[in-house]
Chain A
Amino acid sequence: MEHKEFKVKWGMVIDIDKCTGCGACMVACQAENNIAPMQDGSDKTMTLTWMLVYELSNGKPFPDHEIAYLPRPCMQCGKPSCSTVCPVVATTKDEEGGIVSQIYPRCIGCRYCMAACPYHARYFNWYDPKWPKGLDKTLNISASPRPRGVVEKCTFCHHRFMEAKEKARYEGKDPLKLPEDAYIPACAEICPTGAIVFGDLNNPEHKVAKLAKSKYAFRLLERLGTDPQVYYYSKREWVRRLADNYLSTEKTKGE
């Protein structure tokens, strides 16, 4: 599939060294995107967690052990593995901003995309969402509720992009030249340590563009060639090393 370039490329830089694994991003995501609560959350094959915080370990025994937390949204790959395998064009990467779309009514639930995604960022609705009585009154108007049988994933709170564009139009500004804080996903907005930074990777003025160029910045499984728009940042070598499959003789990126 052809590789599209966009004028605006929304991206994230997640500073792993600042993440305390508190889970606020996950909860904010659930509420923002109308994900119904589940009774059993420990079976991670059944849950819907567009944003998921992984615990990383340096693998050493106590007292040399170290941990870090890695929040994992959809990587919004430049060359997505998921959209190329979709038989019904329910997921594409074609809009300005470079967010990989997911259209629920079009999805036939074949889950090829889930198999294709190397980041486990896609989730299948095994059941219809169950909203306890009254809880549907807290539904956000930004995200459409999904029935069972369709795949869903993080959209970088894409509706906030649409809303920001509307506001810019109302104020007579260019909707494609948004100021840095006009559009921020819910997870980045809520993060208590500000570990998640969001902006346009193509705009050298934006913080993300600067951070992504740091020698401590890296992406997950970079050498697969998926070209993710989510960058991570860590000064800890062992964290960076976990992000890709290195040969024992290879040097970690950033060293």
Chain B
Amino acid sequence: MGLDRRGFITFLVGGAVGTLCTPIPWKTLDDVSIWSQNWPWIPKLQYGKRSQVASVCKLCPAGCGLSIHKVGKRPVVAQGNSTHPLSEGGVCPLGSCSVRLLYRPARVKGPLKNNNGKFEPISWDEARRILSEKLSSGKAACISGDENGSASEVLAGFLSLLGSEDFYFMPSDAQVSAYTWSQMGGKGQIGFDLENSDYVLSLGADILSSWGTVVRNQKAFATRKGKYIYAGPVQTGTAAAVDEWVPVYPGQEGVLALGIAYYLLKMGKGATIDGFSEVKNFVLSKYTPAVVEAKTGVKINKIKQLAQELVAAGSPCVIIGSDFGQGSGSFDWTSGILLNLLLGNVNKRGGMVLLPEVKVVESAPSRASLSKNVLGEFLKNVVSGNKKIDVLMVYDANPIYALPQALQVQEAFSKIPFKVGFSTFLDETAVMCDLILPAPHFLERYDDAYTPFGSGKVIYSVAAPVIKPVVNAKSTPDFILEVAKSLKKDLGYKSFEDVLKAKASAVGADFEDLLSGRTKVSNKWVGQNQLRLSVEILANGLVPDTEGTFLAPVARNYLGNTTQALTPTEVVVVRDSELKGRDLYVQVNRTTAKKLGLKQGDKVKLQGAGREFVGRVNITETVMDDTIAVPLGFGHEAWDEYVRGKGDNVFKVLSVVTEKGSGFQVWNKSQVKVVRA
């Protein structure tokens, strides 16, 4: 029987009917719809057991206790450790990014050697050999950004054994305050007992946004017993939340402090310090309300009111600090300390307290003596040839990016023949080094934080690694101990873990307890001898302003900080009034804009310190008159695509002044010329 056309069509119809009665069309349709959702580039979740381990954040000096949520062996999310006194379960946006930073594209993947501008991978053994050789014949120096970790102690101790005193911290309020306090004959580290204060006046220090123990400050604020007042040039996050914002020109907070001191002295307040009567006469004659009003922009009535409220408070606390955490001088701190002394709240509950130092590396100099080493001064001497350095080690710091007078820093770097960058990320400083020796991310290493600056108590926390290094990184202090051994220098410890154990026992804590997230807390204050105060420092506030608009750099943790550039996860937190595409906004109020002839969106150049900064104008009433606010943290040239080329770096136009009487470099009172671009 043959198959004709009709027969064939009937066969197909039969087939079609049959197919409809099979799973073919229905199952295929279902499967294809599922297939359409399974793109290979959409990652699959990796399941496992959930757990939480304690860690300590080292992304800024605030030393918050973290609780790292893990799935299997993978850390996934960072939350606050609710039992840690500095975080109480809270974390700042930067700390919240910490897990994801493990895989930041800019991470240094392994030891690198600079071969005429090209970085080549080398082994750790070779790195140790090269560095040991360089150190055995040359003079060494070190810059560290780790304010409160024992790693800095190891580095400083190692330098001492090499016969060098050139150990420098990155400039910070911690350093200036320590220097100022030791010059006044004081002992211990300055802290502020916010938790027990019923009246907190913050002069400059942006305590709820970026300054000091920022999360702990916020926690203390949330459970406040009384008023919080913030004096600063910009309505920051602190100004938004506190009871009152007192606008004051950038860097003039010290003058305001003396203006308040004037009224306190008039009210008969005094302090038992050497040279008091001279200081009293000086303040009463030079920092009269009219002078202070002109310098600070704060009305006389307001100054008087602040003085009265401080006196009326049971346990007032005056915090002083730079608006952006650095660049303040001994003048600012002396004025702030004087105010606290007049209020009689030093080493008092709720006041300014003095906390003891602990040191376990014998060869390391004390913090107080290290605070006298001024980085800017050192770099100046290197440039001028007064100081000859053969090897510079940089740990956890980015001085090429985060110092004013970047050109001078770069020049100093070029004068030092051999530079080593112990950096977790490929930052502006690392790329200028001859050796890049990756430090592990803090979740990959042992590390500690001893009484972060601003804390009102002694707090020691230690963290063990949460994950094995995801790149070929090696703990810097461990590496230094190896190098020391090969140079036959004995720091007294075999490993960094041993250093931490020694510190734990020095503060009277159980090491295992610390690792599990329990911190050592002590309320011990350091008793003081007779303090002294010289008028010379106090005269610095009277230096007349130069020409131009006041510049107010603004630090916010969601914009990164001086060590860590804006993180990939934080990119979406940046407001569209701060950054648009690649253009950074500078903020001025309507009155200032009118005065300068600027309109919303105008492209402007800020000129200062012989350099230029480019940005666009955003008109906002959050900035006081005659002041231009600029966010810190932009204008990166290294790192990764998440920050590179975005905006401009305000450090470029900060002008540095050497303070009389202390020799400190100060850059919190910069002024710029604003021109249309």
Q: Do chains A and B touch in the complex (CB under 8 A)?
A: yes
Contact status B574-A32, CB under 8 Å: no
Beyond A20-B218, A68-B240, whether A105 also contacts B37 by CB under 8 A is yes
| Stretch from A72-80, A114-122, A141-149, A217-225 forming part of the interface with B | A141-149
Q: Which residues of A contact B43 (CB under 8 A)?
A: 131, 136, 139, 145
Contact status A39-B42, CB under 8 Å: no
Q: Which residues of B contact A42 (CB under 8 A)?
A: 574-576, 578-581
The yes or no answer to B622 lying at the interface (CB within 8 A) is yes
Interface string of A5-36 (1 = CB under 8 A from B): 00000000000011111111011101110000
Contact status A28-B79, CB under 8 Å: yes
Bound Cα distance A40, B572 (Å): 7
Cβ-defined partner of A189 (8 Å) among B47, B89, B470:
B89
Q: Which residues of A contact B215 (CB under 8 A)?
A: 192
Looking at A24, A57, A60, the one whose CB has the most chain B CB atoms below 10 A away is A24
Closest to A63 in B: B247
Closest to B558 in A: A23
The yes or no answer to A214 lying at the interface (CB within 8 A) is no
The yes or no answer to B591 lying at the interface (CB within 8 A) is yes
The yes or no answer to B39 lying at the interface (CB within 8 A) is yes
| Stretch from B93-101, B277-285, B400-408, B456-464 forming part of the interface with A | B93-101
Cβ-defined partner of A47 (8 Å) among B42, B93, B99, B572:
B572
User: How many residues of chain A are within 8 Å of chain B by beta carbon?
Assistant: 63
The yes or no answer to B17 lying at the interface (CB within 8 A) is no
Contact status A22-B222, CB under 8 Å: no
Bound Cα distance A47, B568 (Å): 13
Shortest distance between the CB of A121 and any CB in chain B (Å): 15
Contact status A190-B79, CB under 8 Å: yes
Q: Which residues of B contact A23 (CB under 8 A)?
A: 93, 556-558, 570, 573
Bound Cα distance A40, B573 (Å): 11
Cβ-defined partner of A61 (8 Å) among B221, B240, B590:
B590
The yes or no answer to A48 lying at the interface (CB within 8 A) is yes
The yes or no answer to B434 lying at the interface (CB within 8 A) is no
Bound Cα distance A108, B606 (Å): 49
Bound Cα distance A68, B572 (Å): 19
Shortest distance between the CB of A152 and any CB in chain B (Å): 13
Cβ-defined partner of B102 (8 Å) among A63, A138, A190, A192:
A138
The yes or no answer to B237 lying at the interface (CB within 8 A) is yes
Beyond A37-B100, A69-B240, whether A141 also contacts B46 by CB under 8 A is yes
Contact status A192-B241, CB under 8 Å: no
Contact status A192-B622, CB under 8 Å: no
Bound Cα distance A195, B622 (Å): 22
Bound Cα distance A245, B90 (Å): 34
Cβ-defined partner of B241 (8 Å) among A17, A31, A135:
A17
Shortest distance between the CB of A163 and any CB in chain B (Å): 8
Closest to B96 in A: A27
| Stretch from B69-77, B168-176, B497-505 forming part of the interface with A | B69-77
Shortest distance between the CB of A155 and any CB in chain B (Å): 15
Cβ-defined partner of B575 (8 Å) among A48, A55, A144:
A55
Contact status B74-A61, CB under 8 Å: no
Q: Which residues of A contact B209 (CB under 8 A)?
A: 20, 22
Q: Which residues of B contact A144 (CB under 8 A)?
A: 45
Interface string of B614-634 (1 = CB under 8 A from A): 000000111111000000000
Beyond A32-B77, A147-B42, whether A41 also contacts B96 by CB under 8 A is no
Shortest distance between the CB of A53 and any CB in chain B (Å): 8
Contact status A27-B241, CB under 8 Å: no
The yes or no answer to A204 lying at the interface (CB within 8 A) is no
Contact status A145-B219, CB under 8 Å: no
Contact status B99-A194, CB under 8 Å: no
Bound Cα distance A21, B625 (Å): 23
Shortest distance between the CB of A192 and any CB in chain B (Å): 3
Q: Which residues of B contact A43 (CB under 8 A)?
A: 576, 581
The yes or no answer to A172 lying at the interface (CB within 8 A) is no
Closest to A195 in B: B222
Q: Which residues of B contact A53 (CB under 8 A)?
A: 573
The yes or no answer to A90 lying at the interface (CB within 8 A) is no
Contact status B45-A37, CB under 8 Å: no
Cβ-defined partner of B569 (8 Å) among A31, A65, A105:
A31
Beyond A20-B237, A31-B78, A41-B571, whether A62 also contacts B621 by CB under 8 A is yes
Closest to A54 in B: B575
Interface string of B34-48 (1 = CB under 8 A from A): 000101011101111
Bound Cα distance A134, B640 (Å): 15
Closest to A56 in B: B240
Shortest distance between the CB of A9 and any CB in chain B (Å): 25
Cβ-defined partner of B93 (8 Å) among A22, A41, A133, A141:
A22
Q: Which residues of A contact B247 (CB under 8 A)?
A: 62-63
Shortest distance between the CB of B366 and any CB in chain A (Å): 32
Shortest distance between the CB of A252 and any CB in chain B (Å): 20
Q: Which residues of A contact B100 (CB under 8 A)?
A: 31, 37, 135, 138
Contact status B237-A192, CB under 8 Å: no
Contact status B621-A20, CB under 8 Å: no
Contact status A20-B240, CB under 8 Å: yes
Bound Cα distance A181, B69 (Å): 17
Q: Which residues of A contact B274 (CB under 8 A)?
A: none
Looking at B80, B573, B589, the one whose CB has the most chain A CB atoms below 10 A away is B573
Shortest distance between the CB of A158 and any CB in chain B (Å): 16
Q: Which residues of B contact A162 (CB under 8 A)?
A: none
Q: Which residues of B contact A19 (CB under 8 A)?
A: 240-241
The yes or no answer to B305 lying at the interface (CB within 8 A) is no
Contact status B39-A128, CB under 8 Å: yes
The yes or no answer to B92 lying at the interface (CB within 8 A) is yes
Cβ-defined partner of B557 (8 Å) among A22, A105, A140, A195:
A22
Interface string of B190-234 (1 = CB under 8 A from A): 000000000000000000110000110011011000000000000
Bound Cα distance A60, B576 (Å): 21
Beyond A22-B557, A28-B96, A65-B621, whether A138 also contacts B570 by CB under 8 A is no
Q: Which of B83-112 contact A (CB under 8 A)?
A: 87, 89-93, 95-97, 99-100, 102-105
A-B contact pairs, 7 of them (CB 8 A): A23-B556, A23-B570, A26-B558, A48-B572, A134-B102, A141-B45, A147-B37
Question: What 18 new A-B contacts, CB under 8 Å, besides A55-B575, A63-B624, A138-B76?
Answer: A21-B240, A26-B572, A31-B99, A39-B571, A39-B641, A61-B590, A61-B621, A67-B235, A129-B42, A136-B43, A137-B74, A140-B77, A141-B76, A189-B79, A190-B80, A190-B96, A191-B90, A192-B218
The 10 A-B pairs with the shortest beta carbon distances in the complex, nearest first, are A192-B90, A37-B568, A41-B571, A20-B237, A65-B621, A134-B103, A192-B218, A41-B572, A23-B558, A136-B43
Where the two chains meet, the residues of B that have a C-beta atom closer than 8 Å to any C-beta of A are 37, 39, 41-43, 45-48, 50, 69, 71, 74-80, 87, 89-93, 95-97, 99-100, 102-105, 208-209, 214-215, 218-219, 221-222, 235, 237-241, 247, 470, 556-558, 568-581, 589-591, 620-625, 640-642
